[in-house]
Homo-oligomer: A and B are copies of this chain.
């Protein structure tokens, strides 16, 4: 717990204004005052300070024909800043993008992931520099979604895929780039994207199925961090069942061994009939549902979002997952649990990384 100063109130109220504008779009100062409970006087001051910082601008006169002085609408200067985001979770590519404050991808840049782990940092810096240089308006910050265990200061404690351990990614990028840098686990970024742009509820899990398997969780609208920054690392939870596969980690029946994309492709490839393929996906969904049931019950989640190849996760898989979940939890509470595929597609980590910047720099999400 930290001391509080009067000026902290100012900072929070500025964020509150930006938040309202971000969600509701253009409003008048008087509207904002009513919405927030602050007075019109204070709101005018707040808006003036935000206009000075180029975060907000006046966009015109309200169309509403009614008695009284017409309202001057203000809105976030959505073209006044850009966000740069980088996704390090790709198996073979570094994906970068410039996004608007609304989270729309404006430009995209992809470069091969260097084979040597020592070169990944320089490649990331170079990519970020190119993206930042391509912007003609100020860049609010850089958000990075990376695989691995990442602490709250952006140190990648462990990322076997890339070969990092104890890599001080955030501070290294910060030193090289002169913009605010935020680094988080890719699945944690993904769940932020899903909440802000996918309309998710405040208690939700995003399960990322790729070369590995990870999850990002939100409880009460806040990201779950975990005691050792390893929340969501459910890839090596074991699930029993017929034909449980051996995992690279040595155990038998790890969730990742059941239903990572390579594992699924492997078993689909050795399936001869269409029926057999359906059975493989059905079984994989069941295994996920079995592993998630205790989590759904313990966290009282209402929504499970899947992020990964739609052809694998879309139909049978998702249905088997939700059926298993419902069968293995208490009906009255978890009957309305939904399992759906993310609509964010391959940009989910990039957009989530952008949310990290929005939320840290503007206090908006």
Q: Interface on A for B, CB 8 Å cutoff?
A: 1-6, 8-10, 12-13, 15-16, 19, 36-38, 149, 158, 201-203, 205, 215, 217, 219-220, 222, 224-238, 240, 249, 251, 291-295, 297-302, 327-333
* Closest Cβ neighbor of A249 among chain B residues: B330
Asked if A233 and B330 make an inter-chain contact with CB atoms under 8 angstroms apart, the answer reads yes
Chain B residues lying within 8 Å of A299, measured Cβ to Cβ, are 217, 224, 226, 231, 298-299
Asked if A300 and B330 make an inter-chain contact with CB atoms under 8 angstroms apart, the answer reads no
Given contacts A234-B294, A236-B297, A330-B249, contact A302 B16 (CB under 8 A): no
* Closest Cβ neighbor of A37 among chain B residues: B3
**Distance (Å) between the CB of A144 and the closest chain B CB?**
21
Chain B residues lying within 8 Å of A235, measured Cβ to Cβ, are 330
**Distance (Å) between the CB of A363 and the closest chain B CB?**
9
Q: Which 9 A-B pairs have the closest CB atoms?
A: A226-B300, A4-B9, A236-B330, A203-B227, A6-B6, A4-B12, A230-B300, A231-B300, A227-B302
**Distance (Å) between the CB of A222 and the closest chain B CB?**
8
Asked if A302 and B234 make an inter-chain contact with CB atoms under 8 angstroms apart, the answer reads no
Q: How many copies of this chain are found per oligomer? A: 2
**Distance (Å) between the CB of A238 and the closest chain B CB?**
5
Which of the listed residues A1, A8, A229, A299 has the most CB atoms from chain B within 10 Å of its own CB? A299
Chain B residues lying within 8 Å of A330, measured Cβ to Cβ, are 233, 235-237, 249
Chain B residues lying within 8 Å of A231, measured Cβ to Cβ, are 219, 298-300
* Closest Cβ neighbor of A298 among chain B residues: B295
Chain B residues lying within 8 Å of A230, measured Cβ to Cβ, are 300, 333
A1 to B16, CA, bound (A): 7
Asked if A298 and B220 make an inter-chain contact with CB atoms under 8 angstroms apart, the answer reads no
Chain B residues lying within 8 Å of A294, measured Cβ to Cβ, are 234, 237, 291-295
A219 to B229, CA, bound (A): 11
Chain B residues lying within 8 Å of A13, measured Cβ to Cβ, are 3-4
A203 to B226, CA, bound (A): 7
Asked if A238 and B327 make an inter-chain contact with CB atoms under 8 angstroms apart, the answer reads yes
Chain B residues lying within 8 Å of A295, measured Cβ to Cβ, are 294-295, 298
Which of the listed residues A149, A158, A226 has the most CB atoms from chain B within 10 Å of its own CB? A226
Asked if B215 and A227 make an inter-chain contact with CB atoms under 8 angstroms apart, the answer reads no
**Distance (Å) between the CB of A322 and the closest chain B CB?**
15
A363 to B118, CA, bound (A): 47
* Closest Cβ neighbor of A302 among chain B residues: B227
* Closest Cβ neighbor of A291 among chain B residues: B294
A5 to B13, CA, bound (A): 9
Asked if A240 and B237 make an inter-chain contact with CB atoms under 8 angstroms apart, the answer reads no
A12 to B5, CA, bound (A): 9
Asked if A220 and B215 make an inter-chain contact with CB atoms under 8 angstroms apart, the answer reads no
Asked if A328 and B238 make an inter-chain contact with CB atoms under 8 angstroms apart, the answer reads yes
